[in-house]
Chain A
């Protein structure tokens, strides 16, 4: 797994932090909670609103991560930079995991920071005791875990798409579709999590994401065999 770590570190150091526009895009998502809280002044926010904003703080950066993963893979294919990597003595699984980690780790860090920032700002705006009651630690933790699982699942599916399509445009379009579907699901989830089955909807989503993760990673591993990817370059 050392090579997966090397590949992941290269992605983080040079493709995320070496790209000012990527840093800026992710920074915008990290600042979203500020906008959410500031646009919900006063004590009008009810528990559902507090939860929905927390959910959005956790998942909006993750949605940007899906687009990032899609563009990274398809651009590598288009630019031919994947070929030297495929020519090196690195196992296929190390390439897949390395690339995925390289994208997921920074985006997940932004998700955590975003939730933390939202919690701090909401506590200041609506009162710490009220926010602590509406968003207990297990719920916050669940949100962070769900965002990680979502990143893993969506990232793996995007990875499969990136292996199958030839152009970054096609990859981006399919990633856009995936993001759109996710937004619809998460919007409904805000309501469901607070009103249906006492928060069990989050657990159900987590379980569904875990199952989807397993399937997606296995398919990604099979699809990302060197000869298959290369045949499509």
Chain B
């Protein structure tokens, strides 16, 4: 559906994107993550056909953005972090205007459909300037969907939205995945990315620092385990040392906890439990720690900085 082929983009001396490649399939949500200036917005604008790459090419449905940018634009819906609306227009006129630019057969009907879909039906004839921030962002999304595109490019769509509106937006994006749309989500919201993205691409200084499924990125190189217990801390430490485990310890409200890494959990964990029980320590829980996407992201960015 989207094939980004070795694209680079320079603005004068600044290299915003440096030989970036990735693919995006229908029915897939891919999160494009990275710090400010990593090249997320530049990448999405190139895919949308509004910014030409300095090198490389992007194919959307097999159509080259270099050769036929207008056909690429027809296939893409583009939503930016700022709603960027013509605020003097009414919702009906605004969606109708963009519908006509995309040559939608009945723009007025489509405007009504979208307004109903996004819960704005009662505001069709209100001027956009009177809308709240959340409503404006919904209008921006409606504008991106006015031609029912196969590809949706979302650049920080939930920035500055209240939690309820952000959740509604997330649910809506997920519903589009069910309709086999390819969705590229540029975001700083790692929680949002973890919740809805199938795959994650981390950009750093214009390059792909890591790419993979959300689960594979979250998986730590060495699994860590958290064990909580009641009893003597010194005895517990000695028991862990006997089991050959290097652990970090912490205490709160009379409950102690240790965190340790284990490559071979089937061997290490029973040994740890046995040593603690023999030392008379009362083990409460032993759980494998799940790394959040945020943890993984910071680890990837940290590695990229050092590289």
Which A residues are within 8 Å of any B CB, using their own CB?
A: 3, 6, 10, 13-15, 18-19, 79-81, 83-91, 226-227, 230-231
Contacts and interface: CB of A to CB of B under 8 A. Distances in A.
A84 B84 contact: yes
Nearest to B72: A89
Contacts of B84: 79-81, 83-84
Contact of B82 (A10, A80, A226, A227): A80
B100 A91 contact: no
A87 B86 contact: no
Contacts of A3: 101
Interface of B: 11, 45, 48-52, 69-71, 73-74, 76, 78, 80, 82, 84-86, 88-89, 93, 97-98, 100-103, 140, 143
Contact of A90 (B71, B82, B101): B101
Given A14-B88, A80-B82, A81-B85, A226 B51 contact: yes
Contacts of B89: 10, 14, 18
B86 A14 contact: yes
Contacts of A230: 45, 50-51
A227 B101 contact: no
Contacts of B85: 81
Given A80-B84, A89-B73, A231 B51 contact: yes
A88 B107 CA distance: 15
> Which 8 pairs across A and B sit closest by C-beta, in order of nearness?
A80-B84, A18-B88, A87-B78, A227-B52, A89-B73, A89-B70, A88-B101, A86-B50
Nearest to A231: B11
Majority SS at the chain A contact face? helix
A14 B92 CA distance: 13
Contact of B80 (A18, A83, A85, A88): A83
A42 B70 CA distance: 62
Contacts of B49: 87
A89 B50 contact: no
Given A87-B48, A88-B73, A81 B88 contact: no
A87 B88 contact: no
Nearest to A10: B97
A19 B88 contact: yes
A83 B73 CA distance: 12
A81 B101 contact: no
A167 B92 CA distance: 30
Given A87-B78, A89-B73, A226-B69, 12 more contacts: A6-B101, A10-B89, A18-B89, A79-B84, A84-B143, A87-B50, A87-B76, A89-B71, A89-B102, A91-B70, A226-B51, A230-B50
B98 A84 contact: yes
A130 to B, nearest CB: 45
A81 B86 contact: yes
Contacts of A13: 93
Contact of B88 (A15, A80, A226, A227): A15
A62 B195 CA distance: 56
B167 to A, nearest CB: 25
Contact of A88 (B11, B102, B140): B102
Contacts of A85: 101
A14 B101 CA distance: 16
A226 B46 CA distance: 11
A226 B97 CA distance: 20
A90 B49 CA distance: 11
B143 A6 contact: no
B50 A226 contact: yes
Contacts of A80: 80, 82, 84
B86 A89 contact: no
A18 B48 CA distance: 31
A87 B101 CA distance: 11
13 contacts: A10-B86, A15-B86, A18-B89, A83-B78, A83-B80, A84-B78, A86-B50, A87-B73, A89-B74, A90-B70, A90-B101, A91-B70, A226-B69
B144 to A, nearest CB: 8
